Amino acid sequence: MSDNTPDPTPQTELRVAVLGIGLMGFPMARRLCEAGCRVSVWNRSRSKAERLLPFGAHVADTPGEAAGRADIVITLLENGDVVDDVLFRQGAAAGLARGGLVVDMSSILPRQARDHAQRLAALGLGHVDAPVSGGTVGAEAGTLAIMAGGKAGDFERARPVFEILGRPTHVGPHGAGQLAKLANQMIVGITIGAVAEALLMCEKGGADMGKVRQAIGGGFAESRVLQVHGQRMVERDFTKRAAMTVQLKDMRNAMTTAGELGFEAPITGLFERLFAEAVEQGVGDLDHSALFVELARRNGMV
């Protein structure tokens, strides 16, 4: 459909639980409700989940209760340790009937995804790690890039849900979805830094930063980051869409995974340190394009 609204065809056979109703979880769960899925939701702060009541969601008191009403459980949680806790200590895995499927759309370490898959398999449950890219804008529009790792059969079981939320791609076995997300975040973080540094140098030299962004937009430097984040930099609009702290977490996960693989990643390492220093300077709650603020500070341009 051209307007990116959910397919109105009823999806009543899809019983889905969404665990974690934050910046991404809310619009994604809402799309599932609007597509006709039977949706149960849980969040540590119940009030966030209750925002979905007008859309027909059932608000559960525990992860296990939400999972018990579903065939597919989607997790959208802060990190791998929280996913582990919600699945195995707070009862989500125990609440899901044998043969059910866990789709972890959080951004966690690949080795954690592989560990979760193994433990879920011992309980008779499937697992797909399927982190996303596209931010809240993509979540609202149903245009997320979904990077999925796991068995092909489980990916196909999840496809009807994925296609309500965006564009899914099966990239390999368990953990491969998380590897793809790390690749995405490495490219995003490094490119944000390149755009910020280049635009700031132009401003320091007397050029109009906004006009420079326009001038180079049609050449090889063109990118989504230049378009979207570059405009935020020009406008000094760092309202949080994707947090600096989350970008830093992902860069650190990339460096941890590189170390586990014996892979040298010097460029990612440099930008991990830059994001860390920016957060230390107090911009952690701003949008990840606010790396611009740290580079401006270093150059006396704040």
Catalytic residue positions, numbered: 181
Amino acid at 286: L
Report the distance separating Cα 244 and Cα 179, nearest Å: 20
Between strands 132-133 and 126-129, the pairing is: unpaired
Q: How far apart are CA 84 and CA 63, in angstroms?
A: 12
Token pair for 44: 């540590």
Going 178 to 181 to 185 to 187, the CA torsion angle's sign is positive
Question: How open is the CA angle 143-179-117, to the nearest 5 degrees?
Answer: 95
Per-residue three-class SS string for 21-71: CCCCHHHHHHHHHHCCCEEEEECCCHHHHHCCHHHCCEECCCHHHHHHCCC
CA 95 and chain centroid, separation: 25
List, in sequence order, the alpha helices (H) in 167-242: 176-204, 209-216, 224-235
Find the length of the chain: 302
* Widest CA span in the chain: 65
Q: How far apart are CA 186 and CA 213, in angstroms?
A: 22
